[in-house]
Amino acid sequence: MNNCLIFSGSANTALSTNIVRYLEKDLGKMSRNRFSDGEISIAIEENVRGKDVFVVQSSSPPVNENLMELLIMIDAFRRASAERITAVIPYFGYARQDRKDKPRVPITAKLVANLLTASGVNRVITMDLHAPQIQGFFDIPVDHLFAAPVTTAYFQKKGVDENNLVVVAPDVGSVKMARAFAKKMRADLAIVDKRRDGPDEVEVVNLIGNVRNKTAILVDDLISTGGTIVEAAEVLKKNGAVSVYASCTHGVLCGNAIAKIKSAPLKELVITDTIPLSPENNLPVIKVLSVAEMLGEAIKRIHLSSSVSSLFI
Ligand code: R5P
């Protein structure tokens, strides 16, 4: 692994540190400053010529700052003659803008893919994309990882009502992810059919499947304002679920999310460390699982040209 260097952006240094700890390496040396007008300034402080460089940076809030920082870092590595640059983007922001769902709107996920490619990145590693087909927005290789091995192992170890479990998709878009989770947990599947009136408004319409007298786990790629998960949890309780857990890979937790979660009928909300959890958001009901080892293992396999997909068999 000597030819492999791992650098961290400022979005999630704790995750980057845990990744290099798993790989028994140190983080690459880089300084980050700001010009007086707020522009980001980056300087790589070691030789990267001919190296296999991995840059870890989630495009989590502040999304535009973190994304711009990533683009600037990639440009610096390209101009410093790195042999290959891989952007490790555990949480890929702007992913929800992945199609024109009404006239005269952008497809920002595609724009971000174009920006990354134009900056000179050769490869992307990401996790639980909002829509897996975003991989196709890139004309470079994308390794799409899943947090499910980590999250399902947690629930299995916890032994949550394993003979009486139902996994629930909180909206139609999450069905595929929830189905894979249900298969791993050997549980039934239910779906909350949600209609949204505005970007931050949620209206739950229907429940497909049986949750009565069962323990339910809601599964989604992310929790942002909390509207989707909290409304779905309430529907499950109204329909007779005994207890409700939620497993969301990316804890964006913005807006009124924390207030909503505090009063929600949730036994536990499981998220991962793709996005750091701020101390003020760290409620007792929130459990953070680490995906650092999985990301570290993927980096190792990519560097050594071995299979990444076999991580998920
Ligand atoms: C939607 O399609 C996503 O999978 C999430 O369900 C949604 O974006 C979560 O957002 P919020 O927490 O604001 O409802």
273 CB under 6 A from ligand 1? no
128 CB under 6 A from ligand 1? no
Among 223, 234, 256, 269, residue to substitute to test ligand 1 (most atoms within 8 Å of Cβ)? 223
Among 193, 203, 221, 260, residue to substitute to test ligand 1 (most atoms within 8 Å of Cβ)? 221
User: Measured in angstroms, how far is the CA atom of residue 43 from the centroid of ligand 1?
Assistant: 36
194 is annotated as an active-site residue: yes
For residue 254, the ligand 1 atom closest to its alpha carbon is 13
275 contact partners, CB below 8 Å, separation of at least 6: 11, 12, 58, 60, 61, 90, 91, 250, 251, 252, 253
Report which of 297, 280, 168 is spatially closest to residue 220, judged by C-alpha positions.
168
Which portions of the chain are predicted below pLDDT 70? 196-204
pTM: 0.94
Q: Is the dihedral of CA 1, 45, 125, 75 positive or negative?
A: negative
268-272 sheet: strands from edge to edge: 203-208, 188-195, 165-169, 215-223, 243-251, 268-272, 286-289
Phi then psi for residue 51, to 5 deg, are -95, 160
Residue-wise pLDDT for 213-252, tens only, equals 999 999 999 999 999 999 999 999 999 999 999 999 999 9
The confidence score (pLDDT) of residue 157 equals: 95
251 CB under 6 A from ligand 1? no
Q: How far apart are CA 236 and CA 246, in angstroms?
A: 12
131 CB under 6 A from ligand 1? no
The confidence score (pLDDT) of residue 9 equals: 98
202 CB under 6 A from ligand 1? yes
Phi then psi for residue 300, to 5 deg, are -60, -45
Name residue, tokens 């791993």. 184
Residue whose CA is at the smallest distance from ligand 1 atom 2: 173
The confidence score (pLDDT) of residue 161 equals: 75
Residue whose CA is at the smallest distance from ligand 1 atom 6: 228
276 CB under 6 A from ligand 1? no
Catalytic residue from among 51, 194, 214, 260: 194
